[in-house]
Structure 1
Amino acid sequence: MKFRVALLVPAVGALVAGLLVASPAEAARSQVITGTITGPGGAGSVGPIRVDLVEVVRGGNTKVVRSATGLADGGSYSFTVSLNGKKKRNKASKPYRLRISAPAATGGSRSWYWRGRNGAPAGGGRHMRDASVVTATKGGAFRADFRYSSISGTAPQGAQITVAGAPATYKGGRDARRELDMPGCANVFATSTVTNGTYRADFLPYLPGDKRYMVAVRVGSDERWNNTYGSCFDVQDYRYSRNNMLALEPAGLTYPVTAGATGNTLVVGGKFTGFKATAQGDRWVSLREAQPAVAILDSPVVAEKRLEATGTTTFGDLPPGRYYVELGRRTGCADWYPSRYSNNNTYFKGLDRSAERWKTFPYLSKLQGNRKSGLERRAREVQPNPATDAAQGKRPGGAAGWMYRTHCKALGYGRVSTIDIAGTGTSNRISLRSKRGAVVKGHVSRAKGRTNKEMLVTLSSTDGKRVLRTDLTDGGGNFYVAGLAPGRYKISVNADSWRGIGKKFKGRQFITVKAGRTRNAGNLRFTD
């Protein structure tokens, strides 16, 4: 007699490796996103809390699809969301972000976004781009717990306090996200003015042991970050390190702050090879903060001044940090020049340009106003000043008047080096040598009856790494652009819209130069 073995298939579910797994017939149509809200003991009372479930919609815009309001410390929230799928809806839900907010002491609100994985919070981010994606699935509730704490301490009376955190990601950091952020360096969570000798910043995303925070204190022009550093980049060692950052504590972090003059000095010496240095161009020294992932010419200028007759200049009370020290690499400059024109009134017509008539004049008394008012006052105050009082009462020798132009002659192509300044009360020194630059000469011609005199010719590098150089055409329309570093340059005429307003010309548009050599750009011809 034969026996047939029957395979029994459960109608509701199947036993796999000892676990009962839901069959398609049991597919869930919705799921829950839930979590608790906890401010450790030192966080203080932050008032009613709100949690928003945010969806990113077409075009990158956002909308709030669910909200839980009036929550207190220790409270919880729960959002029921639909799962995707045409029939059983057993696929993952739409992707969401979670935002938490609390009222600020001075109005408005404070907010940040949850970061982490299901059941494993990882702090928070200041902006939407820092938020973790939250997606519900049929397997169970998605848990996203919020934790927050505080930083507080003593501070100088009247000081400006900024509490910032490192961004969750530095991708695209050079693009400003909010007007109060330091792009590519820090996200601002709180700002305040000290009125009673203390400061406090609460409702800060908290994660045990996470070194993410920086506190800046500014008194007048003196600023310190974490009491030791000159900027948020300096705190991060200019390589996004978190070694020097602050980690919150469960009961809140007590962190006294102070600020004052650093006493740091930097003496810059300059030497020049093969040419006599010009005052406004070659002898100019600029200090820029060497921010990571930012080109030198895009880095912010911290201080600048001209070398003295001794060939040196001294910068005082520099904040700690890393700096580019540039000699003869000034990117923007304007100065006064003797001009063959007594005025430019034809050019300075109308309400939009008439206020600039002070830029050309035979002598100051010809301008509207006097020493304390009108156009004469503007001309006297602009730096560098055109001449002494005695010279301002007459025309410059051999010329019809004065002209103020965005041009400073340089003969060398400059030099740049990097220096680190740490601590306070330190003495630092650096020496730079600038070599004679290449020259591009040429001629500008225009249609009959139109002037080609005192037109601005600009050479700018096509890679954006070398500083531009300029020259003004002489009485015959000739130019001589000097101080060029080796490389390829774009040629433009009237780049500052002074006569001609940047119109196109026929002739050489680009030119490549070698160190110390002279090249002829030929005739640059305007047809108007």
Structure 2
Amino acid sequence: MTSRFSRLSVLACITALAGGLLVASPAAQAATGGVSVTTSKVAQFAAPDLRTAVPVKCTATATCTGVVRWYNGATVISTPLYYSVAKGTTAYVWTKLNAAYSGSYTIKFAETGPDTGSYTKTMTIEPRKYSTPVGGTISGPVGGITDMKVSRWGFKYGVITRLDSKAIAFNGSTPYSFDVPLGTNNTATIDYRFSISAKVNGVTREWYWRGSPTGTTYSATKTQHHASPVKDVNGHYNFTFGTISGGVSGPGASTAKVRVIGTPAVMPTTQTGRKDLDEPYCGDEYGTATGSSFSIPFIPVSTTSSDPRYIVGVIPDPDVAVPAWNDSKAPDKYGSCLAARNYSDSSTSGLLSFGGGNTLTGVNTTLTTGETVHGVVTFRGFGDRFTDRKLDIRPYVPHGGILNLPIVKRSDVTGVVKVGSDRAGTYSIDKLPPGKYWVSAGRQQSCSFWYPSYYSNNLTYLSGEADRETEIWKSFSRLSYLSGKYYSPDASDNPVPGQIYVDGLEGIAYDHGARYQNGGGLYYGSQAQNGSPGGGYAGWMYRDVCVTEGAGAYKLIDTENPAINGNLLDLKGATISGKVDRDGSKTNKEMMVTAVSTQGILVQRSAYTSSSGSFTIRGLESGNYRIIVNTDSWRGLGRSHSGVQTKRVTRGGSYSVGTLYAHF
């Protein structure tokens, strides 16, 4: 993996070294008070310059003017200087001393305007320093890495920029140092960070130093760091790295990918930030290998023994085995990175540590074919449709919205029969890594299917929109009317003899589930027609609409806890009915109406209008829904309408939103 600087795995900020920059200041004395000095220390340039830059603030009602002198006791030690500082500003007043000084001295301002009086302040004068060395030592095993560099990054106004880099001839323990420029009065630099990079098996990896100036590599500080001449910061920013090695056995071991994942110094606080980690919701990647024996170098090492940070994941061919994470630490195996973290940011019991050294050996993994989840789904109070019988598995993520999580397995509820007043069927999903999962039935967010249409084509939708001409395949009266050609398996000119082959727009429709039957008709799923659909319909249209009766059911299961079964109960959902009218003579046929949950956890449901503009949205769980109307039932563009905008429903009830007037 190439380096991704925007979220380097050990990204953290460094403790500011502000201590010692300023010394305690005696109380300033002012008679009428137009000026003040904003620091307690100034730096004097070397001879023959001998100047100091004194930051002076004017708080008067007009420009502050006067004469300034330095004193050593009662003796004047500088050339009298006339100063002028605009009101409401701070500016440097460049005074010239008659010799080089170091220590405590007094500066006195004799004010001439707009007020008269004097202002004195005791200050420290020190020699001017133009830069200070900042660096540390790089330590770790020598083998397996090349092209090592250390970089310094500037951090200003929320933007981080690489300032300079140094190539490192690494020998196992190599010092490095940067000369960091200081400010006018030896003040601190802009905030900066350090990173180290190297090539590992031809891939450049890079990570930031994260820690405090005391050298604790993994202290989770959040501030930046900057250079100071008062405290010696050279030697504090040490990089230590190590090697993780082990073996893989079981099915698919020889081709399995091994990944080292590290927990972030500071875990992102948003779900988007967590999802954006190299291993979503868990951590960032530090190294990879392939095969039954691995050794992964250049892994950041903590200087403390009790600092577990790492998860080693082995990812095999999914047709052969399931992933295993930190198998050597788990009594029953961890099936995911999150499981190794015990689904908690604070838990470290399942993580690996270098234990104070820089080698971690014996990280061994045995691959298996995984776990099987099965159960019974009961449909109560309604006649289930095939969409009610759709089932999916999503990984459990703490605080994560279920519908925002990726689907890792899909299945169908099969063998549905009548059981008393209910209907019920079973499901079984195998090859699941051990862990926690959400099992959902009848909760698909979107379902694209072929439906009977009042239109023989979708050219009305596409009129004037050239960029959408490739979507002509989404509607037709007969599949064979689309451009392209269907080849039967035994056709003499079939480019792929023995298989069905379809090209052109006809082929695209075929790839999306359209099928021939009896010489040109279309069937899809449980729908089968000869030729055009009949029943007043002119053709078929591919629409993003889920038609369900049940409200859907979901449950959290744990493959390692047999007491939690996978049985689900799906109850009849609520319905929302109404009618859509449009301005003028525009058609209200086949317009999509969608109910979107305002709670962010319920599945949205849709329906399309009949020839008279009426609609019924089915399968709604209890909750509040926003109503959306659009003209395009297979593209989903929401437009404005008058009438009911939101509707609260209770599962099993029937509700009406009356007439919705579409203004488009």
TM-score > 0.5, shorter chain as reference = yes
**Do the aligned residues in 2 keep the contact of 1:341 with 1:401 (CA within 8 Å)?**
yes
Give, as a single letter, the amino acid of the residue that structure 2 aligns with 1:275.
Answer: F
Q: Counterpart of 1:167?
A: 264
In structure 2, relative to structure 1, the CA distance for the partners of 1:416 and 1:131 (3 Å cut) is same
**2:427 is the counterpart of 1:313:** yes
Q: Deviations over 1:213-265 (max 9, x none)?
A: 11222221132222322211111111122211111252512235446443411
For 2:360, give the aligned amino acid.
L
Distance 1:71 1:298, change over 3 A: same
Identity value in percent? 34
| 2:472 aligned residue | 357
Alpha-carbon RMSD across the aligned residues, in angstroms, is 3.1
3-state SS, counterpart of residue 298 of structure 2: strand
596, 616, 624: which one pairs with 1:480?
Answer: 616
Corresponding residue for residue 296 of structure 1: 402
- The one of 180, 188, 199 equivalent to 1:103 is 199
Match of 2:225 among 131, 134, 138: 134
Residues 267 and 428, structure 1, Cα contact 8 Å, conserved in 2: no
Structure 2 CA distance for partners of 1:445 and 1:416, relative to 1, 3 Å: same
Letter in 2 for 1:37: I
Q: In the alignment, is the contact (CA less than 8 A) between 1:455 and 1:498 conserved in 2?
A: no
Match of 1:247 among 337, 353, 356: 353
Counterparts of 1:384 and 1:132 in 2: how far apart (Å)?
59
* Cross-structure match for 1:266: 373
CA-to-aligned-CA distance 1:169-213 (integer Å, 9 cap, x gap):
11236345997712431111123333xx42221111101422111
User: Conserved in 2, the CA contact under 8 Å of 1:268 and 1:312?
Assistant: yes
Deviating more after overlay: 260-269 vs 329-338? 260-269
Deviation at 1:293, TM superposition (A): 2.8
1:187 corresponds to 2:284: yes
Q: What CA distance in whole angstroms lies between the structure 2 residues aligned with 1:500 and 1:140?
A: 62
Given the alignment of the two structures, is residue 56 of structure 1 paired with residue 155 of structure 2, yes or no? yes
Task: Calculate the TM-score normalised by the size of structure 1.
Answer: 0.85
> Structure 1 pair 368/45, CA: closer, same or farther in 2 (3 Å)?
closer
Query: Is the contact made by 1:211 and 1:246 (CA closer than 8 Å) also made in structure 2?
Result: yes
Deviation at 1:412, TM superposition (A): 1.9
**Alpha-carbon distance in structure 1 between the residues aligned to 2:168 and 2:360:** 28
1:44 to partner: Cα distance: 2.6
Task: Describe the shift of the 1:495–1:486 C-alpha distance in structure 2 as closer, same or farther (beyond 3 A).
Answer: farther
Alignment of 1:76-155 (within 5 A): 76-84=175-183, 87=185, 89=186, 91-107=187-203, 109-123=204-218, 133-142=224-233, 143-155=236-248
Deviation per CA, 1:337-385: give whole Å up to 9, x if none: 2222222233345653233222222222222223322223332332486
Shift of 1:392: 5.5
Shift of 1:400: 2.0
Letter in 1 for 2:237: A
Aligned equivalent of 1:38, options 139, 146, 154: 139
Q: Of residues 625, 647, 654 in structure 2, which corresponds to 1:489?
A: 625
The amino acid that maps onto 2:336 is S
Change (3 A) 1:177 1:327: closer
- Distance in 2, matches of 1:265 and 1:413, equals 26
Q: What amino acid sits opposite 1:525 in the alignment? A: Y
For 1:519, the equivalent position in structure 2 comes to 655
SS at match of 1:24: strand
Q: CA deviation at 1:405?
A: 0.8
In structure 2, the residue matched to 1:369 is 484
Alpha-carbon distance, 1:323 to partner:
0.7
Residues 124 and 420 (structure 1), Cα distance of their counterparts in 2 relative to 1, 3 Å cut: same
Distance 2:651 2:608 in 1: 22
Residues 502 and 220 (structure 1), Cα distance of their counterparts in 2 relative to 1, 3 Å cut: same
How many residues are paired up?
496
| Aligned partners of 1:37 and 1:75 also within 8 Å | yes
Is residue 2:120 matched to residue 1:25?
A: no
* TM-aligned CA distance change 1:507 to 1:359, over 3 Å: same
User: 1:124–1:151: structure 2 CA closer, same or farther, 3 Å change rule?
Assistant: farther
Take 1:325 and 1:490, find their aligned partners in 2: how far apart are those partners? 26
The 3 A distance-change label for structure 1 pair 301 and 295 is same
Q: Quickly say closer, same or farther: Cα 1:64–1:178, change in 2 above 3 A.
A: farther
Task: Supply the distance in 2 between the matched residues of 1:185 and 1:252 (Cα, whole angstroms).
Answer: 23
Q: Which runs of 5+ in 1 are unaligned?
A: 1-10, 15-22
Q: 1:106 to 1:135 in 2, by over 3 A?
A: same
Q: Which has the larger radius of gyration?
A: 2
Partner of 1:247, secondary structure, is: coil
Q: Gaps (5+ residues) in structure 2?
A: 1-100, 105-122, 328-332, 417-424, 487-501, 516-521
Structure 2 equivalent of residue 212 of structure 1: 309
State whether residues 265 and 317 of structure 1, in contact with CA within 8 Å, keep that contact through their aligned partners in structure 2. Answer: yes
What is the TM-score of this pair, normalised by structure 2? 0.68
1:3 match: none
Could you tell me how far 1:48 is from its partner in structure 2?
4.7
Residue 5 of structure 1 corresponds to which residue in structure 2? Answer: none
Match status 1:323 vs 2:459: no
The AA in structure 2 aligned to 1:225 is W
The counterpart of 2:641, out of the listed 497, 505, 512, is 505
What letter matches 1:277 in structure 2?
Answer: D
Distance 1:251 1:186 in 2: 21
Q: Could you tell me which amino acid in structure 2 is paired with residue 297 of structure 1? A: L
Q: Deviations over 1:77-103 (max 9, x none)?
A: 12333444x54x2x5443221111123
- CA 1:322/1:384 → structure 2, altered by over 3 Å: closer, same or farther? farther
The residue identity in structure 2 corresponding to 1:171 is P
Q: Aligned with 1:380: secondary structure?
A: helix
In 2, the alpha carbon distance for the partners of 1:111 and 1:269 equals 49
**1:315 shift after superposition:** 0.3
Does 2:586 align with 1:450? yes
Give the distance between the partners of 1:356 and 1:523, measured in 2 at CA. Answer: 31
Cα distance in structure 1, aligned partners of 2:477 and 2:135 = 77
